[in-house]
Structure 1
Amino acid sequence: MESMVDMTREQFEEAVSDALDQVPPELTAQMDNVVIFVEDDAPPEQPDLLGVYDGVPLTERDLGWAAGALPDRITIFRNPTLAICETVEEVVDEVTITVVHEIAHHFGIDDARLHELGWA
């Protein structure tokens, strides 16, 4: 296994929190029913995944979308992120990109559009 950046879970969670702080307040104010988690490992079937959005994008919610629905989940995966980075600074940058990427999915922005915007 390649060497990983030495970063505690607490430090990684702090990087995720800092990344969220960089999201413009006008966007975070519109996020609806979303929780963000940090997990050490991605699912075994996608071991290199850095983050995942699991939910119903705002653009797909309609009157039939239940107000009591479980929150959307954004999960950022620590070990795959540490594995592809060589420095703590790279981890912070990658976490920011991943957090923005997954929040964009919450707003209904797909990978193709993210790529056009320079975020994928």
Structure 2
Amino acid sequence: MNEEEFDAAVQIAIAQIPEKAQSAMSNVTFFTADDYVPASGEDPDTVLLGLYEGTPLTERDSWWESGSLPDRITIFREPILEICSSREEVIREITITVMHELAHHFGIAEERLHELGWG
């Protein structure tokens, strides 16, 4: 799957976000990137399928709207393509990853996502 097809699959996954969740999302933007680059001090072998960067809705206060940048959700193409063997698997994994990272936007912790089967 090339970059353009991957980006289209991410857009399809975003379109599948339930309307109730879409209407509750606030100031969040989706991106794609080839791969996650671990930060200084992180394990250099860290592999991520997606990454949420921002302030979860549950932690926002009145100060937050004063010039805050949008939250970022990045979906990483190469690791997803490496674990999937078909286009259908890629689309399924992208959808799971989008929902997983969006759950962080709503303040759902990693442990709870694993309990719910979205880990």
- Give the structure 2 partner of residue 81 of structure 1: 80
Q: What amino acid sits opposite 1:80 in the alignment?
A: P
Q: Post-superposition shift, 1:71?
A: 0.6
Aligned partner of 1:109 in structure 2 is: 108
The TM-score normalised by the length of structure 2 is 0.90
Unaligned runs of 5+ in 1: 1-6
Contact 1:47-1:80 at 8 Å conserved across structures: no
Match status 1:38 vs 2:37: no
For 2:45 and 2:32, how far apart are their aligned partners in 1? 16
Q: How many residue pairs are counted as aligned between the two chains?
A: 114
Identity of aligned residues (%): 56
Which 5+ residue runs of structure 2 have no aligned equivalent? 39-43
| Cα deviation digits, residues 67-111 of structure 1 (max 9, x gap) | 310110000000111011111111101000000000000000011
- 2:96 aligns to what? 97
For 1:22, the equivalent position in structure 2 comes to 16
Deviation larger for 29-38 or 59-68: 59-68
CA RMSD of aligned residues (A): 1.2
Quote how far apart the aligned CAs of 1:46 are. 5.2
The alignment status of 1:8 with 2:7, answered yes or no, reads no
The amino acid of 1:85's aligned partner reads C
Q: Which amino acid aligns with 1:61?
A: R
Q: TM-score, normalising length from structure 1?
A: 0.90
Matched-pair contact (CA < 8 Å) for 1:42–1:49? yes
**Secondary structure of the structure 2 residue equivalent to 1:53:** strand
Give the secondary structure class of the aligned counterpart of 1:29. helix
